Amino acid sequence: MSGAANNLKIQSRGTLRQYGNTTWFVTQQRQIRLANNTTANYYFITSANTRVRGWVKTGSLKKSTRSFTNLYNVAKSKLDHRYVYGAVGPNTFDCSGYTKYVFQQAAQKTLPRVAQAQYRQYPKISKQRAQKGDLVFFGSGTGSISHVGIYVGGGKMIDAQDNGVKNEKVYVPWWHAVGYSRPVNFGA
């Protein structure tokens, strides 16, 4: 990674591999003429926590399919599909089978099979900090989870329930929301 300008002097300061699975945001793109009269395309990138930034060759990054938009599109594509207890898709679902299916298809994330295990597995998020793509859990308490849905913002979720896959409000008289978790940070 190095400084920027059309007369860019390339200095390596490390590799992206040393940052593991960091999310990078591209804010600029430049084509640079190299000393051997060839050109190379570079991106100016910033890490999600904004602590690391610099220029990298465009081939050093790959576009992630892990976005809330992608998750939401997969989730919406199953609206009105039938509910069947124990089903994990692709055409029928129970609540945790639905969340497992959507996260696998949209984010290549394998969730545990049942709602209680999904709740236990991932970092807990307060209602106030809930973001699009978080899971919202229902039951009589955190030790007795009986339902899960995908939070889509605005107090709504998409879930598989007795009437099939629906887009509905999280806070209604027949549900008792007991918590949220974040299997994937979409940065929503």
94 counts as catalytic = no
- Find the catalytic residue in 81, 94, 95, 134: 95
Q: Would residue 159 show up in a list of annotated catalytic residues for this protein?
A: yes
The per-residue pLDDT for range 130-168, each reduced to its tens digit, is 999 999 999 999 999 999 999 999 999 999 999 999 999
Distance CA 136, CA 59 (A): 37
Q: Which of 81, 94, 134, 159 is catalytic?
A: 159
Give pLDDT, residue 180: 97
Q: Pick the residue with more confidence: 25 or 178?
A: 178
- The span from the CA of 83 to the CA of 66, in Å, is 26
Distances (CA, A) of 150 to 2, 22, 155, 175: 40, 24, 11, 14
162 has catalytic annotation: no
pLDDT tens digits for range 38-60: 888 888 887 766 778 888 888 77
Of 81, 94, 134, 147, which residue is the catalytic one? 147
Q: What residues contact 141, with CB distance under 8 A and at least 6 apart? A: 178
pLDDT recorded at residue 11: 59
Distances (CA, A) of 17 to 43, 57, 70: 16, 14, 25
Three-class SS of residue 102?
helix
pLDDT tens sequence across 17-43: 776 666 666 777 888 888 888 888 888
The pTM of this model reads: 0.67
Angle CA 145–165–94, to nearest 5: 45
